[in-house]
Amino acid sequence: METAEIARRFLSFFEKNGHTVAPSANLVADDPTLLFVAAGMVPFKPYFLGQRTAPYDRAASVQKCIRTIDIEEVGKTSRHATFFQMLGNFSFGDYFKEKAIPLAWELLTSPVEEGGYGVDPERLWVTVYLDDDEAATVWRDKVGVPAERIQRFGAEENYWSMGVPGPCGPCSEIFYDRGPEYGAEGGPAADEDRYVEVWNLVFMQYERGEGGAKQDFPILGDLPRKNIDTGMGLERLATLLQGVDNIYETDTLGRILRDASERTGVAYGDDERSDVMLRVVADHVRSATMLVSDGVRPGNEKAGYVLRRILRRSIRNLRLLSGTDTPYMHGLTETAIEAMQGIYPELRTDADRIHEVIETEETNFSDTLRSGTALFSRAAERTRSSGADRISGADAFQLHDTYGFPIDLTLEMAAEQGMGVDEDTFRTLMAEQRETAKRDAKAKKLGNADVSVYGRLLESAGATDFLGYTDHGTESRVLGLVVGGESVGAASAGDRVELVLDRTPFYAESGGQLADKGSVSAPGRGTVDVEDVQKPVPGLFVHRGTVREGTVALDDRIEAVIDSDRRASVSRSHSATHLIHSALRNALGPSAGQAGSENQPGRLRFDFTASKPLGTSELAEIEDEVNTVLSGDIQVRDFTTSMDEALSMGALAMFGEKYGDRVRVVEMSDYSRELCGGTHVGATGQLGVVKLLGESSVGSGVRRVEAAVGIDAFRRLSRESLLVGQLSEQLKTPREELPERVDSLVTRLRTAEKEIEKLRADQVLQAAGELAANARRHGSALMAAHQAPDGTTADDLRRLAADVRQRLGDDGPVVVAVTAVPQDRPVVVVAVNKKAQDSGLKAGDLVGLAARALGGGGGGKPDMAQGGGTDASAVGSALEAVEQRVAQPS
């Protein structure tokens, strides 16, 4: 049973049993305490903690997960993986043990033809917590598991909590007996290699207090609503149902591993060291593909650093396996997409972007490896000559800081040479760098100010009183002035300054809304042009700008005035965002939740959760709905209430956002009601018109719409109308027929391009006969060398080389070398026959010589290989390098 079918059956089973199918959350966790989603229950955590009311009583999901805590073990064992998927069903106060246990058993043991997994019930064992007689009774009396196959474990194995005060409760686990060939009899208590955990059912029924993570904490009482949280590893279940020994032999990871083996020419199963590297490649390529699909890009911090780390481990392992610097990631990424698209069809939609991100990193790291490896070799030689056995922390830091070497790569390279690394010094230097970077980043945003300055101001002066919901200007007093990161008493014309006022009409950037601009004037003294407003510490508004004239000093009585036209334009965008959010939910359902936004003058972008792109007709309907609603001139009302009251009214809260006990609600009749701290119009009619500009993906499960609002939307429509008129006139086609006319022209153009491509390919292959006839003998080998016309593709070169090799026969050693410049970058292909290989002429070695002449690299299989470079003027030299090697005696 394929992995995709296993997942489909899981969701189908629970949907038939009254569960809402919840889409997988993004791999990057919304929870600020987590970097990645590392368990199936993470997206439901706010419901279990009572922070939010669940929109459904029961749910089921296939959740993508990333776990990096044991990344060093990936590949060394057959069970560790960076990316994995969790099947889970959840109940939020709806059902408990008496329902959860039979559901799990039914799905596992029901025949395949009835929608189950067909697992032999005689091979299943269960464990329960020491004193959980209730679960044991359900297993024995309701499900029918013999008492001898029910074992009891302590808190370490069978009790769950989040490690902090909150929900907790006992667990029950289902184990599969793999058979006597895998270990001793006696159930999980005897041998967990033979008895493999399949499913973990968590019964959240108590509230715990402060104490240890797994045990030694007090139970404060029963939860008001008992919850169910289960998890079953999809890869582990696939291993069992597909009858293989480990996850690397399943249909998904196994497909990538086999492709890596074929591409590098290294067989799997022959050598433990190469097996480890192939497993690392298979796991990391899949993980990288899924991370990029979810919007992560390689970087030096957080999720981006993890992605860069696993990509670079993959690339280096591929080079060690193949002995070449051939770029392999495009092909392996495509294999990963094909392997996973059955569960995540968005991978195919995002394929171009995924390839672009991964290939760019591969290209960049190729340069890094060349330069960094040379530096590492020098550092290793210095270490040996000094009699030490550890690379210095300073050298490791330089490798990271200058060449982008992750520390684990330096550790791997050092271990290969029997050496260690001074990690303590390295991490000290890294910590110092991060602290400097944090100060620099804060300085860029806050005008080089030390944030502690504002902490002291908040402590002494209190929070800023924000009047901007009702006032566009107000009298105020200067409580703080900062220039160049230091508190000062006064600032003069030309100074870049930051001001703290006792009250302000200026909106500070937050909630997706850009800050106000305007001026702060001390009558008769000076004026500051305010360009940005931030809240470096909660409650304190910092006005950043330049003193235009005169001076401004502490305790000055000033007039603070915002740019009212700009505020109105931004407010129109923010109100339009709320309307678009409601229209999207009406079109796609409640799952279309807000995932981010930006409201600027006359324009907005809104990110929302969705499993697939919006079609042109759907966008048109959403746009029509928004403009129909705004034309009704609905009053926009805001008020403050309790969080519970707001939620009971149906007000939408942004997931992951932190709210206090009192919240501000912005509503537009019953059409839109959201928790929001931003500024808005008084009535929807003030928006004028909203024009959607397009829709795109910003990660797996997250889409983005952009829109123009008000006069900006009108101008956009006016420009589009003019453009359509020009096209209509140029193509001599009525406006309403333009789509068909343009489609016809594009089709004809593509057909012509294909015909030209075919003619060019035929022309290249026509040279095969002449090229074979003009082959010359070099040493004992017959060799044909040829420079094809510029624009010839690499595929055509490979076909040409194979054709000429066949024409030259197998009477003796044959070598064919062809080159061309497809797109400003030269490519070389070398093909040899079996007798040439027997005489020591390998295609990969020969293409490496040619590629180095071109300023690049290459490699491949012994019979055919491809390389490339950057110097298009050196194609002649590349062919000569091959000829000289062929002419040498064997």
Q: Give the domain ranges of the chain.
A: 3-248, 252-433, 447-562, 588-719, 767-887
pLDDT of residue 678: 94
CATH assignment, 588-719:
3.30.980.10
Which pLDDT belongs to residue 690?
A: 94
Is the pLDDT at 128 greater than 90? The verdict is yes
End-to-end CA distance of the chain: 52
Whole-angstrom Cα distance, residue 173 to residue 135? 11
Residues 828-837, mean pLDDT to the nearest whole number:
92
Residue 35 has pLDDT above 50, yes or no: yes
The pLDDT of residue 890 is: 63
Nearest alpha carbon to residue 135 among 118, 116, 158, 117: 158
Structural tokens at position 883: 């000829």
Amino acid at 224: P
Tokens of 508: 């500070």
What's at 799, amino acid-wise? R
Buried-state track 646-674, b at ≥16 Cβ within 10 A, e below 16: bbeeebbbbeeeeeeeebbbbbbeebbbb
pLDDT of residue 455: 67
Residues 661 and 641: beta-carbon distance below 8 Å: no
pLDDT score, position 177: 95
The residues with which 85 forms a beta bridge, in sequence order, are 64
Tell me, what's the pLDDT at 444? 40
Predicted model pTM? 0.53
Helix 875-887 × helix 843-853 angle, to 10°: 140
Question: In this predicted structure, which of 270-274, 325-329, 510-514, 821-825 has the lowest mean pLDDT?
Answer: 821-825
CATH of domain 3-248: 3.30.930.10
Angle 285-291-293 (CA atoms, 0-180°, nearest 5)? 100
Instruction: Name residues whose C-beta falls within 8 Å of residue 18's C-beta, 6 or more positions apart in sequence.
Output: 58
pLDDT score of 312: 87
Q: Decide if pLDDT at 443 tops 70.
A: no
User: Confidence class of residue 656 from pLDDT cuts 50, 70 and 90?
Assistant: very low
Give the model's confidence band at 14: pLDDT under 50 very low, under 70 low, under 90 confident, else very high: very high
Q: Judge whether residue 658 has pLDDT over 60.
A: no
Q: Which pLDDT value is given to residue 594?
A: 84
Average pLDDT over residues 575-592: 90
Residue 355, annotated as binding a ligand: no
More confident: 506 or 207: 506
Q: In this structure, what are the phi and psi dihedrals at residue 738, rounded to the nearest 5 degrees?
A: -60, -45
Query: Is 400 annotated as belonging to a binding site?
Result: no
Distance CA 600, CA 665 (A): 21
What integer best gives the mean pLDDT of the chain?
88
Dist CA 639 CA 641 (whole Å): 7
Q: Is 680 marked within a binding site?
A: yes
Q: What is the pLDDT of residue 446?
A: 43
pLDDT at 109 over 90: yes
Please enumerate in sequence order all residues whose Cβ is within 8 A of that of 296, keeping only pairs 6 or more positions apart, or say none. 27, 28, 303, 304, 306, 307, 699
CB 75 within 8 A of CB 279: yes
Q: Residue 879 has what pLDDT?
A: 92
Q: Is 574 annotated as a binding residue?
A: yes
Q: Which of 205-219, 343-357, 409-423, 445-459 has the lowest mean pLDDT?
A: 445-459
- For the chain, give the longest Cα–Cα distance: 100
| CA gap 327, 284 in Å, rounded | 16
Higher per-residue pLDDT: 455 or 361: 361
Task: Give 785's Cβ-side CA count (13 Å radius).
Answer: 19
For the domain covering 447-562, report its CATH number: 2.40.30.130
- Contact by Cβ (8 Å): 800, 768: yes
User: What local confidence, expressed as pLDDT, does residue 437 receive?
Assistant: 52
839: its two tokens: 């005489």
- Annotation: CATH topology of 767-887: Diaminopimelate Epimerase; Chain A, domain 1 (3.10.310)
Instruction: Tell me the pLDDT tens digit for each residue of 731-774.
Output: 888 888 888 888 889 899 988 878 877 777 677 777 788 888 88
